[in-house]
Amino acid sequence: MAHPSSAPLTLSAVGPLTGRVRVPGDKSISHRALMFSALAIGTSRIEGLLEGEDVLATAAALRAMGATIVRDAGGWSVDGVGVGGLLQPANALDMGNSGTSTRLLMGLVASHPITATFIGDASLSKRPMGRVIAPLSQMGADFTASPGGRLPLMLRGLCPAIPITYKLPVASAQVKSAVLLAGLNTPGITRVVEPVATRDHSERMLRGFGAEVSVETTPHGKIISITGEAELKPQHIVVPGDPSSAAFLVVAATIVPGSDIVVENVGLNPTRAGLFTALRLMGASIEELDRRDVGGEPVADLRVRHAALTGIEVPPDLAPSMIDEYPVLFVAAAFATGRTIARGAEELRVKESDRIAAMAAALGAVGARVTEIEDGLLIDGTGGDPLPGGATVATLLDHRIAMSMAVAALHCRAGITLDDASPVATSYPAFFDQIAHLRGAAA
């Protein structure tokens, strides 16, 4: 699933964004919907699944381990193999660019009596997997990884695995989920201690599938417990719109004068909505319309209008609920009045790229005043004026860098060229078409 040859793309400002648009399905929920459906006994239905490359990598891996996954006119159907029923894959599992696929599937395989080799593209192969290897090794899985705990990586699962209590050393929904997924096929109770809350899609959805999951709040954080040897029941899942995808459109409408858009069906799980909180603290106009509940997840349509932003010190406790959105927050800050201090984002150093360094370089190249610090950026904004633009920026095979700088280009005096726009297909294949639609509606 390597990317095709690079696809440079130049974008420039052409006036306000107006109209309505619907973002693709939530990526985190899409991955989990496929995985849990593959472990249920019977047929599950999934509507609104994100059909980006990352989620399709998950589907392909699950097919290779015995699940039947089919797309039809009404969405997707998954015939599961049951907990403990994953089969030995005949070939290496190609994760493409998807860290979520890799880490969560490692959790699934760890408590099955099978061996799987995980491979990925050049970007994914640079990302460390040690944070997942450590707890899964305690449960009995055996790993042969490339230097630095990286891909390619061979995992030999153990069945029965050993239930553990694992305290997360850093906030990570992926590590938490990997341990819980390994615990599904492990006798006894597996526990994860979470000092700082992270996205809770796994806990919500596992309960929906019939797993016995409990969450206890203590002075030391949350303790999430799962009872193993579970029997999952098939479900009908409606995937809400991805707030991480919506973030790019929300920031675009906020910074481009005259803009007024509605982004439909956005998931607003409180463990994912930190960016919207931060933008409102800066003065953004984000109105929730028709707030409702879809499949256990809060959802609303967001009306976003251009607004003058003021720099803030981003509250550190927001970091886990907006870690993927920091790059586009940096873009918003570049157009604010005054300084924005964005700390607590150390995890960005080990994403698809070093997103702190990548965004510092990209924003600096188009004229923003940016200072890089170890765990974030200090950004002195333009006060709402356009940035100079007129540069080619490196996207580093990272979809969020590419989309963030595409948003920045919408309020620059001269165009910005992305050296490679193709990684956007990993999470938001229709992104550029939807931007064009909103710009066209303004004409």
- Spatial neighbors of 442 by CB under 8 A, at least 6 apart, are 14, 15, 16, 17, 18, 19, 258, 259
Tokens of 236: 């009908």
Question: Among positive and negative, which fits the CA dihedral 366, 429, 421, 353?
Answer: positive
Which stretches of 248-296 are assigned E, i.e. beta strand? 260-267, 285-294
- Spatial neighbors of 61 by CB under 8 A, at least 6 apart, are 89, 93, 94, 95, 101, 105
The answer to whether 176 is annotated as binding is: no
Q: What is the DSSP letter of 220?
A: T
- What is d(CA 232, CA 33) in angstroms, rounded to the nearest whole number? 12
Residue labelled with tokens 């938490």: 176
- Residue 341: phi and psi, rounded to 5, are -110, 110
The answer to whether 32 is annotated as binding is: yes
- Residue 435: phi and psi, rounded to 5, are -60, -45
Half-sphere exposure of 348 (CA within 13 A, CB side): 29
- What is d(CA 62, CA 56) in angstroms, rounded to the nearest whole number? 10
The answer to whether 174 is annotated as binding is: yes
CA nearest neighbour of 99 among 78, 118, 112: 118
The answer to whether 324 is annotated as binding is: yes
The answer to whether 375 is annotated as binding is: no
The answer to whether 355 is annotated as binding is: yes
- What is d(CA 159, CA 112) in angstroms, rounded to the nearest whole number? 5
DSSP string, 90-130: SS-EE-TT-HHHHHHHHHHHHTSS-EEEEE--TTGGGS--H
> What is the three-class DSSP state of 365?
helix
- Spatial neighbors of 187 by CB under 8 A, at least 6 apart, are 160, 163, 228, 229
Tokens of 193: 């201690």
The answer to whether 172 is annotated as binding is: yes
Euclidean distance between the first and final Cα of the chain, in Å?
38
The answer to whether 415 is annotated as binding is: no
The answer to whether 19 is annotated as binding is: no
Tokens of 301: 């349509």
- Residue 345: phi and psi, rounded to 5, are -115, 35
Query: Which residue in the list 54, 94, 200, 324 is annotated as catalytic?
Result: 324
Q: Are strands 115-119 and 150-156 parallel, antiparallel or unpaired?
A: antiparallel
Answer yes or no: 324 catalytic. yes
Chain centroid offset of residue 294 CA: 19
Q: What residues are labeled active site?
A: 324
- Residue set of the binding site for phosphoenolpyruvate: 27, 99, 127, 174, 355, 400
Task: Report the binding-site residues.
Answer: 27-28, 32, 99, 127, 172, 174, 324, 351, 355, 400
Where is the binding site for 3-phosphoshikimate, in residues?
Answer: 27-28, 32, 172, 174, 324, 351
